[in-house]
Structure 1
Amino acid sequence: MGSVQTFFDIISASEIQDIAKIRNIVLSALQDYTREAGFYQILPILMSPITDPLNHAVYPAEIEYEGRPLKLTASMIFHKQLMLASKQMENIFVLAPNIRLEKATVKSSQNHLLEFSQFDFEMKNASMYDVMAFIDGLVKHVFTEVREKGAENLKNLGRELPEYSEPFPICSTDEMWEKHGKDFENIISKTSSTPVFLTNFKREFYDRETPGSRGVYSNFDLIYPEGYGEALSGAEREFEYEQIVYRMKELDMDMAPYENYLNAAKDGLIPQTAGAGIGIERMLRFITGRDEIREVSFFDRSISSDFAF
C-alpha cells in the first residue's frame, strides 16, 4: 500500500476485535458506575468562543462562522462549571471528543493523540480528595469489569491486567521532585506497582490555588504504572471572580475572549466545583498493554500520523 497506513497495518484484524470488545466494556463500566453514583450525563460541546487554554504551546484549532471565530473543544472545563450553575444539578459527566493540535517538539506519539476522547466529570461542592476517592473506585470498577467480561480478549492480547486492592497512593510533586528530580513522573510510572496520584501542579488558571497558600494548587494527576504515564488530570476549580482574574493576569492571558465567563463569575453564577477528565484511549492502552496509543484508536491520530484516512 505504499505510504498509506491503515489500522490493519498497525494491528491485526483479530486484535481489532479484541480491543473493540474491551472498549465496549470500558465505556459501559464508566457510564454505569457514574450514573449509579447519581451523576447526570450531558452531551458534548464541539465548538465555542472559549475552550481549555492548556498550559503548553499548541497549534490553534479554530473555525469561523459568519465572521465569528470559534474554537474546537480542547476540553469542556468551562461548560462543566456553567452546567453546575443550575441549583438542580449536583454531579455531571460527558463522553467528550477533544481536539488538541500538539506540537511534536513538545509531546510524543506514544501517549498523545491530536484527536481523543475523555470521560469528563464534575462534582459540585467537592474537594480534590472527594474526586480522587471517586476516581479510585471508578478505575478499579472498570478494571474488574474488563477482567471478568473481557478475560478471553485480554488473553488473546497477551495482557494480564493487574488487580489493585489498596487505595492509590497520593504524593506531592514537591516531595517527588526532591526524591527523583525533574523526571519524577516518568520514574514513578516506571517503578510503581500501582497507579499513583500526584498533587500540586502549577498549570491552567482554572485549577484552584489553595486558599491561603500562594503557589500551592489543589489539583492532581493520576499516573499509570508499568511506564504508561499520565492517566488523567483533575482539580478543584477557581470560581471567585477576583481570584480568576488574578490567575489569568499571573499567566499573562488575554482576558477579552473570556468576557462572558468572567461576567458570570463576577455575578456569582459559577459554583464551587471539582472534577477530572479520564483519557479513554490512554485507559485502553494501559488495559490492553499496547506499546503506542494509536494501536487502540484504529484511525491514527497520533502526532506522527500521516492522516491516511
Structure 2
Amino acid sequence: MKPVIRISQSAQYENQEVTIKGWLYNMRSSGKVRFLLVRDGSAIIQCVVVKSEVSDEVFEKTELLTQESSLIVTGKLVADKRSPLGYEMHVSDIEIVQIAKDYPITKKEHGIDFLMDHRHLWIRSKRQHAILRIRHEIINAARQFFNERDFVLVDSPIFTPNAAEGTTTLFKTDYFGSPAYLTQSGQLYAEAACMAFGRVYCFGPTFRAEKSKTRRHLTEFWMIEPEVAYFDLQDDMQLAEEFVSYIVQTVLKNRRAELETLERDTKILENTVPPFPKIHYNEAVEILKKHGVDFPYGDDFGGADETILSEEFDKPVIIHHYPAEIKAFYMKRDPQEPQFALAMDMLAPEGYGEIIGGSQREDDYDTLLQRIREHNLDEKDFEWYLDLRKYGSVPHAGFGLGIERTVAWITGTKHVRETIPFPRLLQRIYP
C-alpha cells in the first residue's frame, strides 16, 4: 500500500510512490502525454501521465476525465522548480471515483450573480480558495493571540432578549411565544464573563438587519470580541493594535502563496506594526474639511469619509473620542470632556473602512441606568447587565473585530461577499 498523503505534504515524500485523493482542476494534452492538475483542498499538483509508462487502461481513463471529476492518483513525487508547489507527480495508476458532467463554472467570464448562485462550487476556484484559506489563518491567529495572553473563550448566545447596538437593526423571532432577537454582538455577555475571568473573548456569528447594499455590509458576519477587566480606553487601543498587527504578520508568514495567488501588494501589510496613528474625532473632522468634505460635526463617519481618513496613513488608524450622542448606551463618557465617549474605531488602510469598534464601558450603576432610560430601552431586559455594576464593578473595556472586513483588507478583496464561505446579503440567502 502506498501512503495516502495531502498534496501539501509533498516535500516529505520526495522520490516516493504515494497516493493522492482529489479532484481534476484542469487538464491539457501534448501528444502522448497528459498533464492533470489535481487538487485535494490543500494544494494543486501537476500529475504527468505518459502513455508509454502506464497501462492502456490507465491512459484511456484520462480521456474520460472532465473538470471537477473525482479521482485517486498514484505515482512518484519528483522535484520540479517550474512548479509553484515545487513538485510534480509521475503517474502510475488512476482510479476514477466519479465523472462530473457539465460543470457550470468554466474558463469563460461569468457574472457575479451567476457565481453567487453557484457559490457552493465557486469556492473551489483558486482565488476563492486562497481568500478562504487566509480567512482560516486570520481566525487561527486571533485565537492564538488571545490564548498566548491568558484569555478565556466564553461563547455568547445567539438568541438574546435585547439589543446591544440599537433596535432598528435587529432580526426578530418568536421564542416559544416570547420575542427574541438574533444577536448583534456578544459584548454584553462578554462583560459578564470578564468579571468572572478577568480576560475573555467571544467569537461567533452576529446579525444586523441593515438594509444596506454596500460592499462592506453583510446581514450575517463573524466577530471576535475581547473584554478585559481593569482596562481603560488607552489599554483598549493598545490591545487592538497589537492584535491586528499579530494577525497581519501571521498571515504574511504563513500564507505568502495565497497572497501571491491574489496578486496582493503586501507593502502596507508589512508596515502594519505598532504603534498605529491615533487621532481624536475633532482631528478626523479637520482632515475631512481639508479634503473639501462638508461634514456635519457630531455625525458618525460614513464609508466615503472613512476612505478619505484611512488614505492619510500607511497603516491602520485609530479614531477615538467620538461624540457621546452618536454612540451606544454602554459607552463611558470622558469625565474631562463628557460630550465625548471613551470610544474608538480602527480604520483599515486602502479604503477598507472600519474593522474594529470598541470602548471603555460605563461601570457606574446609576449612570448606566440613566443611559438605558435615555435610549428608551426596557430596564427589565437589562437587570442582569446592571447587576455587573452592583457586585464588584471595575473599569473595563473591549472591542469587536469584524472577520469579513479584516479578510477583505488583508486579501485586497473589494467586496465582503467573497470573504465568507456562504454570504448572507440583503437580497441573498441562497445557497
Which stretch has the larger CA shift, 94-103 or 1-10? Answer: 1-10
TM-score (norm 2): 0.65
Deviations 1:151-184 (A, max 9, x none): 0100001112321245100001112113314264
Q: Aligned runs of 1:34-113 on 2, under 5 Å?
A: 34-54=146-166, 57-58=168-169, 60-86=170-196, 89-104=197-212, 108-113=213-218
Alpha-carbon contact 1:98-1:115 (below 8 Å) kept = yes
- 1:32 matched to which residue of 2? 144
Alpha-carbon contact 1:96-1:119 (below 8 Å) kept = yes
Amino acid at match of 1:241: Y
In structure 2, how many angstroms separate the alpha carbons of the residues matched to 1:26 and 1:249? 39
Q: Can you give the 5+ residue segments of structure 2 that lack an aligned partner in the other structure?
A: 1-103, 105-112, 290-294, 296-300
Cα pair distance change 1:30/1:266, threshold 3 Å: closer
Cα pair distance change 1:130/1:157, threshold 3 Å: same
Counterpart secondary structure, 1:147: helix
Cα pair distance change 1:111/1:9, threshold 3 Å: farther
Deviations 1:71-114 (A, max 9, x none): 2111012101111232xx1100121210111123xxx4211110
Q: Aligned runs of 1:1-309 on 2, under 5 Å?
A: 5-7=117-119, 13-54=125-166, 57-58=168-169, 60-86=170-196, 89-104=197-212, 108-161=213-266, 162-164=269-271, 165-181=273-289, 182=295, 184-201=305-322, 202=324, 203-262=327-386, 264-265=387-388, 267-303=390-426, 305-309=427-431
Alpha-carbon contact 1:293-1:302 (below 8 Å) kept = no
Counterpart secondary structure, 1:267: coil
Q: Can you give the 5+ residue segments of structure 1 that lack an aligned partner in the other structure?
A: none
Counterpart secondary structure, 1:19: helix
Alpha-carbon contact 2:357-2:399 (below 8 Å) kept = yes
Q: Whose Rg is larger?
A: 2
Alpha-carbon contact 1:49-1:70 (below 8 Å) kept = yes
Deviations 1:23-42 (A, max 9, x none): 22111111111111111111
Cα pair distance change 1:48/1:11, threshold 3 Å: closer
Counterpart secondary structure, 2:180: strand
In structure 1, how many angstroms separate the alpha carbons of the residues matched to 2:122 and 2:339? 44
Kindly, what percent of the aligned residue pairs are identical? 25
Q: Which has the higher contact order (CA 8 A, sep 6+)?
A: 1
In structure 1, how many angstroms separate the alpha carbons of the residues matched to 2:393 and 2:172? 26
Q: CA offset at residue 306 of structure 1?
A: 2.5
Which stretch has the larger CA shift, 76-85 or 216-225? Answer: 76-85
Counterpart secondary structure, 1:249: helix
In structure 1, how many angstroms separate the alpha carbons of the residues matched to 2:161 and 2:377? 15
Counterpart secondary structure, 1:257: helix
Counterpart secondary structure, 1:112: coil
TM-score (norm 1): 0.89
Counterpart secondary structure, 1:84: helix
Which stretch has the larger CA shift, 266-275 or 216-225? Answer: 266-275
Amino acid at match of 1:237: R
Aligned length: 300
Which stretch has the larger CA shift, 75-84 or 229-238? Answer: 75-84
Q: CA offset at residue 297 of structure 1?
A: 1.4
Counterpart secondary structure, 2:155: coil
